[in-house]
A = this chain, B = another copy of it.
């Protein structure tokens, strides 16, 4: 009997840092942490791909599930990787395909950044 344990491969997710944008001026460090998440959604093709993954059955999708955006599979893969690097998606390889999933805590934290000022 072996003591070897198969640990699951877990992607690290950049959970955002920061109070609502309306609460007090962001520090340089907070802005450096939060800006890449907004930037990742600042491209129309990436925004469509993010929405395609986020709204897909089961909350996850592989490149093989995404065809209606009108860009090639390598382009889809490239943009999904960018979204992952920004901490908005996690991924898991299963056989041939990499499945992407939206990280709900990151969505919620980005939504909190955009909370309107109290009393607005």
Which A residues form the contact surface with B (CB < 8 A)? Answer: 21-28, 31-32, 34-36, 38-48, 50-52, 54-55, 59, 68-70, 102, 104, 107-108, 110-111, 114-117, 120
Contact = CB atoms under 8 A, between A and B. Distances in A.
A50 B23 CA distance: 11
A70 B112 CA distance: 26
Contacts of A120: 59, 104
Contact of A31 (B23, B44, B111, B117): B44
Contacts of A32: 44
Given A35-B41, A35-B42, 15 more contacts: A21-B50, A22-B107, A23-B55, A24-B51, A24-B55, A25-B55, A38-B39, A38-B40, A39-B39, A39-B42, A40-B42, A59-B120, A104-B116, A107-B115, A110-B114
